[in-house]
């Protein structure tokens, strides 16, 4: 099919199902892009496994089916083949029934249209937990990765002779970097507040995964924030196996069973971290919009990053709180528009959390207290900086342009 005859009918396949984290959010924003740009689409998601965060987002427009059921997969294959292209957003977890994984592989062999594979995992340990991995790589006409130097890019390149390229002009299956876009204005309009309800409230969001930075946050709170009568809340901590190690790190108030909207935190300033469980995204964003500082402290090795920031980075910025991001992440991530590393830009509006210099981090925060003009400039700078970096209008356009140049 020629680029000027490019497809407008998309099938999206979520082999892992609705896990409620980054892939689910990516799919939701992807659908918005298609709706706003006159595409038609249908999303197919496995419901062979129920995930803890499955209700974190509104997923009413996603069709769920059992991949372990032959007749349901047959119907999906028939519908997919009526599309112009299939975009695979996730692969089935190895923990699914064998029948589900085998039917996913069968689908790959029976669909007759071009396939784009988007791989959201970073490290090989996570990637190997996917079923149908090699089959999806070999079936794909184009592969998208967060970084063309990450583990998956290397693995896929060795499998199919893939070439790391921007527009697929080299031989082999092109392996292309992508960014997970979000519509910034839509989130800002809903949550941004004119004034901060509690400048002394610091909110960390993430999961019970050490690279999300909760260890460093405990150290910062216990040695700096708590001593200055600040309040720190965590949201997103689940009782996974990693929680056994989490609870040994520090004293904290275990509120995993509590509703953050109903819990009274008025007496918690100057005390230990208040730890809440998994959140409903929209409710968390409303709470984030009322606090002084929003923390997204993910850290990864530089070869995993390239240009992508996470959805939680974007969400913090769009609520109007002051973003506090891991400096090591900012040192590794290149701005889409300006070039250069995020942490190098004076107009990022970001407090770069430096675990080797907590004094500087705290000093920047103290300068913002009761300084409305400075606070407003900083959060507005952050909004414009990150919108230009990763708004969905740019990132999904890039993805579709790359597909057009290959298919």
* Count of Cβ atoms closer than 10 Å to residue 83 Cβ: 20
Q: Tens-digit pLDDT profile for the chain (407 aa)? A: 434 456 789 999 998 888 757 788 899 999 999 999 999 999 998 987 665 555 555 667 788 889 899 999 999 999 999 999 999 999 998 888 899 999 999 999 999 999 999 998 777 777 788 889 999 999 999 999 999 999 889 888 887 665 544 444 456 789 999 999 999 999 999 999 999 999 999 999 999 999 999 999 999 999 999 999 999 999 999 998 999 999 999 999 999 999 999 999 999 999 999 999 999 889 999 999 999 999 999 999 999 999 999 999 999 999 999 999 999 999 999 999 999 999 999 999 999 999 999 999 999 999 999 999 999 999 999 999 999 999 999 999 999 999 998 87
> DSSP 3-state assignment of 125?
helix
**Token pair belonging to 245:** 């190690």
> Which residues have CB under 8 Å from 125's CB, separation 6+?
none
User: Do 96 and 17 meet the contact criterion of CB atoms below 8 Å apart?
Assistant: no
The CA distances from residue 170 to 138, 146, 149, 176, in Å, are 17, 20, 17, 12
Domain boundaries, the chain: 3-183+392-404, 184-390
How far apart are alpha carbons 259 and 233 in whole angstroms? 13
Place of tokens 């969400």: 315
How far apart are alpha carbons 323 and 304 in whole angstroms? 22
How far apart are alpha carbons 398 and 347 in whole angstroms? 24
Give the max Cα distance, the chain. Answer: 64
User: Do 336 and 390 meet the contact criterion of CB atoms below 8 Å apart?
Assistant: yes
pTM attached to this predicted model: 0.89
User: Do 108 and 136 meet the contact criterion of CB atoms below 8 Å apart?
Assistant: yes
The CATH number of the domain covering residues in 3-183+392-404: 3.40.50.2000
> Which residues have CB under 8 Å from 102's CB, separation 6+?
none
Angle 311-318/372-390 helices, nearest 10 degrees? 140
How far apart are alpha carbons 197 and 151 in whole angstroms? 43
Give the distance, in angstroms, between the CA of residue 136 and the centroid of all CA atoms in the same chain: 22
β-sheet bridge partners, residue 172 = none
How far apart are alpha carbons 180 and 309 in whole angstroms? 8
- Exposed, middle or buried, 244 (CB in 10 Å: 0-12/13-18/19+)? exposed
Place of tokens 């199919």: 160
Which of 35, 85, 101, 31 minimizes the C-alpha distance to 63? 31
How far apart are alpha carbons 361 and 76 in whole angstroms? 52
> DSSP 3-state assignment of 27?
helix
User: Do 180 and 26 meet the contact criterion of CB atoms below 8 Å apart?
Assistant: yes
Strand 174-177, strand 198-205: pairing: unpaired
> Which residues have CB under 8 Å from 86's CB, separation 6+?
10, 11, 12, 13, 80, 111, 113, 114, 115, 116
> 266-290 burial, b for 16+ CB within 10 Å, e for fewer?
eebbebebbbbbbbbbeebbebbbb
Question: What pLDDT shows up at residue 133?
Answer: 92
How far apart are alpha carbons 155 and 80 in whole angstroms? 27
Same fold, 3-183+392-404 and 184-390: yes
Question: What pLDDT shows up at residue 219?
Answer: 98
How far apart are alpha carbons 202 and 180 in whole angstroms? 26
The CATH number of the domain covering residues in 184-390: 3.40.50.2000
Give the distance, in angstroms, between the CA of residue 125 and the centroid of all CA atoms in the same chain: 18
């Amino acid at each position: 099919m020629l680029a000027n005859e490019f497809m407008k009918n998309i099938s999206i396949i979520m082999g892992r199902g609705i896990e409620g984290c980054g892939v689910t959010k990516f799919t939701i924003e992807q659908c918005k892009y298609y709706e706003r740009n006159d595409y038609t689409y249908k999303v197919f998601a496995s419901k062979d496994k129920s995930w803890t965060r499955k209700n974190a987002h509104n997923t009413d427009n996603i069709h769920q089916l059992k991949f372990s059921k032959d007749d349901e997969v047959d119907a999906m294959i028939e519908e997919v083949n009526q599309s112009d292209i299939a975009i695979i957003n996730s692969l089935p977890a190895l923990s699914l029934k064998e029948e589900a994984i085998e039917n996913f592989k069968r689908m790959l062999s029976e669909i007759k249209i071009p396939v784009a594979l988007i791989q959201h995992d970073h490290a090989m340990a996570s990637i190997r937990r996917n079923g149908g991995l090699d089959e999806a790589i070999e079936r794909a006409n184009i592969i998208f990765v967060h970084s063309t130097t990450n583990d998956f890019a290397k693995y896929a390149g060795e499998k199919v002779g893939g070439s790391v390229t921007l527009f697929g002009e080299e031989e082999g299956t092109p392996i292309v970097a992508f960014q997970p876009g979000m519509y910034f204005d839509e989130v800002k309009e809903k949550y941004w507040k004119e004034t901060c309800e509690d400048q002394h409230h610091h909110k960390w969001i993430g999961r019970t995964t050490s690279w999300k930075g909760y260890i460093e946050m405990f150290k910062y709170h216990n040695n700096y924030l708590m001593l200055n009568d600040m309040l720190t809340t965590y949201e997103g901590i689940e009782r996974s196996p990693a929680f056994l190690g989490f609870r040994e790190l520090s004293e904290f108030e275990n509120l995993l069973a509590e509703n953050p909207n109903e819990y009274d935190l008025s007496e918690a300033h100057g005390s230990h971290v208040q730890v809440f469980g998994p959140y409903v995204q929209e409710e968390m964003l409303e709470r984030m919009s009322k606090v002084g500082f929003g923390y997204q402290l993910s850290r990864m090795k530089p070869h995993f990053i390239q240009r992508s920031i996470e959805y939680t980075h974007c969400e913090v910025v769009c609520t109007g709180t002051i973003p506090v991001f891991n400096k090591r992440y900012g040192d590794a991530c290149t701005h889409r528009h300006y070039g250069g590393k995020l942490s190098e830009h004076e107009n990022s509006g970001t407090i770069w959390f430096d675990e080797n210099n907590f004094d500087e981090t705290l000093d920047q925060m103290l300068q913002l207290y009761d300084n409305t003009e400075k606070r407003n400039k900083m959060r507005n700078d952050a909004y414009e900086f990150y919108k230009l970096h990763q708004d969905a209008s740019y990132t999904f356009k890039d993805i579709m342009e790359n597909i057009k140049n290959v298919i």
